[in-house]
Amino acid sequence: MTEKTRRKPRQARAQATVEAILEATFQLLESDGLTDLTTNHIADRAGVSIGTLYQYFSDREAILYALSKRQSDDVRKMITALVLEAPETSGVRAIIRALMYGPKGSPQTRLILSDALFRSGGSDEMSRQHYAFLESVSGQQSFNFPHGREAAFILTHTAVQLLRAAAGEPELQLNPDVLEDELVHLLESYIENLNARVERARA
C-alpha cells in the first residue's frame, strides 16, 4: 500500500483507532522499552488487527514518529498558552519548564521519541521548536533585543539539545531543579550579553 493510498484518520472511528495505536505504543515503551517493540505487539495491545494497523502506519518507525510529533505539538501548544495567558510573566523559565516537563513518559521513553523525531523530521521539527521559542521570547519587553538569525538559533536550539543530552545520560543523575536553574541562567546570561552588545554598538 502506498503512502498516497494509506488511510487517513478523518472519521471519528478512524481517529479513535489511531489514538489506540499511539497509546498502546506509549504504554509498551514505558513498560518494555524499544527492544521488544514490534507492530504485532502494538496491534495486540491496541486491540486491533495487524492489517488495521498497517492501514494507518507503514511500519514501527512511522508510529514512533507520529507519537513523537504529537508530543512535540503538545509542548509547542503549552509554550504558546504560557505566552498568551500570562505574557507579563512568561519568560525563559516558563519555556524551559515546558520543554522539561511537557513531554510525557519516563526519561528513556522521551529520549526514544526524541530520537524518532530527529530521524524522521529533524530539521523541520527543530524549526518548529525554534520559531515557537523565538516568538515567546521576542514578545517579552525584558527580552526585546534586535536579534539576528544566529542568536535566535542559539537561543532555541541550546535548550532543546541540552535537555535531549540530559535525557540520554541518566547515569549522571542530574538534579532536575538544578538543571532548570542552570539552563535559565545560561539563556538569560546570553540574552543580557546580546543586549549589552547592542548598547555598546549604539554608543
- The torsion of the CA quartet 74, 80, 86, 87, rounded to 10 degrees, works out to 160
Distance between CA 16 and CA 179 in Å, rounded?
38
- The label of the residue with cell 503549552 reads 78
Cβ 139 vs Cβ 80: under 8 Å: no
Q: Answer whether 65's CB lies under 8 Å from 116's CB.
A: yes
DSSP state of 5: T
Please tell me the predicted confidence (pLDDT) of residue 90: 53
Give the pLDDT mean for 134-157: 62
Q: What dihedral angle (degrees, nearest 10) is formed by the CA atoms of 55, 122, 144, 141? A: 40
Q: Are 28 and 105 in contact (CB under 8 A)?
A: no
User: In the chain, what percentage of residues exceed pLDDT 70?
Assistant: 76
Q: pLDDT tens digits, residue range 65-115?
A: 999 888 888 887 777 676 666 555 557 888 888 888 878 888 888 888 888
Q: Is residue 11 predicted with pLDDT exceeding 90?
A: no
